[in-house]
Amino acid sequence: MTIRDVAREAGVGIKTVSRVINNEPNVAPATGERVRAVIAQLQWEPDSLASNLRRAHARTKSIGLLLGSVDNPFAATIHRAIEDVAAQHGVAVLASSLDEDPVREVSAVENFLRRKVDGLILTCSTGSQAYLSELLPEKVPVVFIDREPSDYIADVVRSDNFGGAAMGTRHLLSRGHRRIAGIFDKTGIWTAQQRKAGFLSAIDEFEVDESLCTVVDDVTTSSAAEAVVQNLLSSPRPPTAIFSSQNLITVGVVRALRKLGRQHEVALVGFDEIELGDLLDPGITVIAQHPARIGTIAAERMFQRLENRASESTHEAADLVSQVDLVIRGSGEIAPPSGRDVQ
């Protein structure tokens, strides 16, 4: 149960709920009674959050970190890099998983605030982050990692998702492939949108007949990706190359290719590293992100904000882009049949 649930049920804004639980003025008596009734009905416990919102923000030597999933190698590497920087400042990192759930996002932020963290480093889900404007105490800085927020302005540290996807797709196209399948994560995720746009941009750049290309959206697990590839390769005109938009999808693609004995026939470029990808035969060609760099930049930006939060100059948000690299290992260099695509 979150403050957003209370606000929605009472038909008011989050800030109004905050005013009611803090006994602030400028709330109509009827509105206050309605909010308190909803709090009682939902059995929400506002005390610790209210205390947090009331306080003049004092340093607690802790920051909140919200990641897509703490067991994802990409997120885990970011987590470690942030912890390393935080340790240098004597600050603890409280981490939680998002699991692509907007409700869980709000709940995690509330939980961090109950613990009076000094700042937030957030991976955001689909939907709007406007709730932060009403929920955050004054002078609590926010840095977003991996994805741009919606309806909220703050620093963002991210990879070049569009450029990396275009680079990987061009790599396949330059080797003669035209029947290419692009497999992407949830449609609403910002990184998936950017990578899909980069994929389609490269297809357009090479003036490829769109009927030759296949785009598969909303693939969220490696097992789903495995099933998608098995279906694609059993079709009458199967792709000769695959662009995989994230590491868990790439794992599923690799499993499908190996089960079908097609790993030396179908080219593959994946966005992001996969564990032991360099030891497979063929090695997996990837667009390599640098999660440690992303985590380090995000943490350093956070501590800059904390040290200068009284300064007006810190109000301007920055879009900090970490470049990506094409790592050639063999899978992305497989040529189409007869050295050219069979159309």
CATH number at 165 reads 3.40.50.2300
Tokens of residue 218, six digits? 């909303």
Quick one: 335 and 214 in the same domain?
A: yes
CB atoms within 10 A of CB 10: 22
Please report the pLDDT score of residue 312 as a whole number: 47
Task: Answer for the pair 315, 321: CB distance below 8 angstroms, yes or no.
Answer: no
> What is the total count of domains within the chain?
3
Residue 287 has what pLDDT? 98
Q: Are residues 197 and 334 in the same domain?
A: yes
Q: Does 305 lie in the same domain as 270?
A: no
Q: Please list, in sequence order, all residues whose beta carbon lies within 8 angstroms of the beta carbon of residue 178, skipping any fewer than 6 positions away.
A: 208, 209, 212, 213, 240, 336, 341, 343
31 and 79 assigned to the same domain: no
Residue numbers in the chain where pLDDT is lower than 70: 1, 46-58, 310-315, 339-343
Find out whether 232 and 238 touch, Cβ atoms under 8 Å.
yes
pLDDT at residue number 46: 64
7 plus 117 within the same structural domain: no
pLDDT (0 to 100) of residue 8: 86
Q: Which domain holds residue 193?
A: 161-289+325-339
